[in-house]
Amino acid sequence: MADQPKLFKVTIDNITVEVEAGTSILNAARMIGGDVAPPAMCYYSKLKGSGGKCRTCLVEVSAGSTADPRPMPKLVASCRTNVMDGMVVKNITSERVQDARKGVVELLLINHPLDCPICDQAGECHLQDLSYEHGAEGTRYEFPRRQFEKHNLGPYIQLHMTRCILCYRCVFTADQLTNKRVHGVLDRGDHAEIATYIEKALDNDFIGNVIDVCPVGALTDKTFRFKNRVWFLKPVDAHRNCPKCSGKVTLWHRGDEVFRVTGRKDQWGEVQDWICNDCRFEKKKTSDWVIDGPTKVSRHSVISANHYVDTVKPHEALPEVMGGRQPRLLMNIHSVSEVNKPTIDLSKIQGPAHSGDFKKGE
Amino acid sequence: MQALTNRAKAVDRKPMTLVEKLYVWNIFKGMMITLRHLFKKKATISYPEQKRPFSPVFRGLHILNRDEEGRERCTACGLCALACPAEAITMEAAERLPGEENKYREEKYAAKYEINMLRCIFCGLCEEACPKDAVYLSETFAPSNYQRKGFIYGKDDLLIPNPKDNPGEYWKAVGNRKANKEQGN
């Protein structure tokens, strides 16, 4: 009994939970789950040292501990504050927190361009969800937003610096997954940007994971760039025997084509296993993978729109009635339609499609 | 049996008299109604020559809009296709190359955009969903066709004429409602 870890009782939004000493408020709230867990843009449980930068996880501590039950004077970042025994925390029940979070979202959106219609992250973007939930409808900012020179990060990763919220997740990812980090945050203040300083491609085997950890559309998959919107794709869990990584991924299908491969994300939007670049960028065929089944998508996510599970294909009765003959096709849609041409396989084009790619099929 | 309402009339099955059998009076009564309608205002118009004005809220054939510089506004964000309850809209996106800036407004554009007018129910949800003011429903309707393939509208059919090269056609295609709205802004 003696070596059993000491458990702290902490009350978050009137729900009491017992957690180990040294747990952050955010992780304690995640144990309760649901709406009680504060949103996090920079904290990533799989990355050591992450958190404390975006301030979206602010909570109110109305009683510090049983020993010292005074409330904390200011709102605290729940990802960086550890629980104490008898701590009472208010998240969604506190009006101060809601108000502060609205301000934080406005601050994050000051320099964030309103290009969701173009952005590949739209539909699975944490900032989009956050601003939808907590943000104001309009902007009060009247000045030009940040502009950056475009940096080329190689054939796999597309950087959109204007969308970056400087959460440092990708920097921690490169530090902790690769031997040598070649990108980082340069300059200070408004000029701070993610770059490689000297134009250099990110080419480590695991560097593709920066795409998954990026909470916004600053780092996106170049092989998937502008190919399709995420909500038109069907996520499917799949695995393969990969010598480098666990090989457990989510395939984003459209018909039989694999448009994109990502890591499997949990309910907090964090990947379960890091995957290697081979799995992510090279294996874009269904035959490369063993499919485990459809990915569970939250009912409220746009990705679940128009996706039906457990559907039964209706029994094809025509051939039976017609003595085994198949019905004659009177009009082939490909002879009329310009989209989904059988000669153009968008998923097989390396990088985004251009006007020339569509002329080839004509 | 007792009638449920007092409006019920018992059917008269008496044999007709000679005057009734001649039908002259009844024919005269009928002809009077016909004659009266000859001098009344007609309810119909002769369609191809004369056209009725559309209501300002009429939702007709779709138009893909351009901005004032003649660049296509659509960025293929897919929100119209997502909003479409009939799943009539499909598109394929492409990246704008350097040198194509005068053709497309944004970095991404719809290389292919297609509306199946046989599926479309003209509900106007695509127009509401569009964040770029690119697709809107005009005050015309899809002309009839003998073949189904004539109802699959590609970008060539949907795109509005360029306001720089062809301002007359552009404003004609814009239509009253849109023009009034733009002047109001």
Nearest-CA distance from A122 to chain B in Å?
Answer: 9
Is the per-residue pLDDT at B96 higher than 60? yes
Average pLDDT, chain B: 88
d(CA B183, CA B178): 9
Find chain B residues with C-beta within 8 A of A229's C-beta: 77-78, 82
A349 touches chain B (CB under 8 A): no
User: Domain limits at B81?
Assistant: 62-184
Find chain B residues with C-beta within 8 A of A337's C-beta: 90, 114, 152
A231 touches chain B (CB under 8 A): yes
Domain boundaries A7-103, corresponding CATH code = 3.10.20.740
Nearest-CA distance from B118 to chain A in Å?
Answer: 13
In this structure, chain A runs to a length of 362
Look at residue B21 and tell me if it is in a domain: no
pLDDT confidence of B179, banded at 50, 70, 90? low
A interface mutation test: which of B79, B95, B105 has the most A CBs within 10 A?
A: B95
B100 touches chain A (CB under 8 A): yes
Find chain B residues with C-beta within 8 A of A358's C-beta: 92, 94, 111-112
Nearest-CA distance from A257 to chain B in Å?
Answer: 15
Query: What is the pLDDT, as a whole number, of residue A326?
Result: 86
Nearest-CA distance from A338 to chain B in Å?
Answer: 7
* A31 against B52, higher pLDDT: A31
Look at residue B68 and tell me if it is in a domain: yes
Mind spelling out the 3-state secondary structure of A263-302? ECECCCCCECCCCCHHHHHHCCCHHHCEEEEECCCCCCCH
User: E strands along chain A, which residues?
Assistant: 7-12, 15-20, 58-63, 76-77, 87-90, 157-159, 184-186, 193-195, 219-221, 234-239, 248-254, 257-263, 290-294
Average pLDDT for B59-65:
91
CB contact under 8 A, A358 and B107: no
Query: What is the pLDDT, as a whole number, of residue A15?
Result: 94
- Which residues, numbered 118 to 147 in chain B, qualify as contacts with chain A under a Cβ-Cβ cut-off of 8 Å? 131-132
Q: In terms of DSSP H, where are the helices of B71-166?
A: 79-83, 125-129, 155-158
Look at residue B175 and tell me if it is in a domain: yes
Is the per-residue pLDDT at B183 higher than 70? no
Look at residue B129 and tell me if it is in a domain: yes
Look at residue B114 and tell me if it is in a domain: yes
- Which residues, numbered 276 to 315 in chain A, qualify as contacts with chain B under a Cβ-Cβ cut-off of 8 Å? 302, 305-306
3-state DSSP helix/strand/coil % of chain B, to nearest 5: 30, 15, 55
Helical axes A95-110 vs A126-134, angle rounded to 10°: 130
d(CA A114, CA A116): 6
DSSP A108-138: HHHSS-S-TTT-TTTTS-HHHHHHHHHS-SS
Query: What is the pLDDT, as a whole number, of residue A289?
Result: 93
Instruction: Give the percent of chain B with pLDDT over 90.
Output: 49
d(CA A149, CA A158): 13
Tens digit of each residue's pLDDT (9 = 90 or more) over B67-88: 988 999 999 999 999 999 999 9
B76 touches chain A (CB under 8 A): yes
Stretches in chain A below the pLDDT threshold 70: 1-3, 360-362
**Topology adopted by domain A126-224:** Alpha-Beta Plaits (3.30.70)
Query: What is the pLDDT, as a whole number, of residue B177?
Result: 62
Find chain B residues with C-beta within 8 A of A355's C-beta: 94, 97, 100, 111
A118, A227, A357: residue with CB nearest B77: A118
**In chain B, whose CA is at the least distance from the CA of A358?**
B111
In this structure, chain B runs to a length of 185
CB atoms within 10 A of CB B132: 18
**Quick one: which of A96, A21, A39, A2 has its CA closest to A10?**
A21
Find chain A residues with C-beta within 8 A of B88's C-beta: none
Look at residue B48 and tell me if it is in a domain: no
Query: What is the pLDDT, as a whole number, of residue A307?
Result: 79
Assign residue B84 the CATH number of its domain: 3.30.70.3270
Look at residue B96 and tell me if it is in a domain: yes
Look at residue B170 and tell me if it is in a domain: yes
* Phi, psi torsion values for A89, nearest 5 degrees: -120, 140
pLDDT confidence of B185, banded at 50, 70, 90? very low
Sign of the alpha-carbon torsion through B148, B150, B153, B155: positive
pLDDT confidence of B169, banded at 50, 70, 90? confident
Query: What is the pLDDT, as a whole number, of residue B175?
Result: 73
- Per the listing, tokens 């073949």 go with B147
Is the per-residue pLDDT at B173 higher than 50? yes
Tens digit of each residue's pLDDT (9 = 90 or more) over A194-219: 888 777 788 888 999 999 999 999 99
A vs B, Cβ pairs < 8 A, gives: 77
A352 touches chain B (CB under 8 A): yes
Is the per-residue pLDDT at B184 higher than 80? no
Domain ranges of chain A: 7-103, 126-224, 227-362
Query: What is the pLDDT, as a whole number, of residue A318?
Result: 87
DSSP A145-181: PP--------SSEEE-GGG-----HHHHHHHHHSSS-
Nearest-CA distance from B72 to chain A in Å?
Answer: 14
Give the count of domains, chain B. 1
The number of angstroms, rounded, from the C-alpha of B15 to the middle of its chain's C-alpha atoms is 55
Tens digit of each residue's pLDDT (9 = 90 or more) over B16-43: 888 888 899 999 999 999 999 999 998 8
A116 touches chain B (CB under 8 A): yes
Contact present, B141 and B91 (Cβ < 8 Å): no
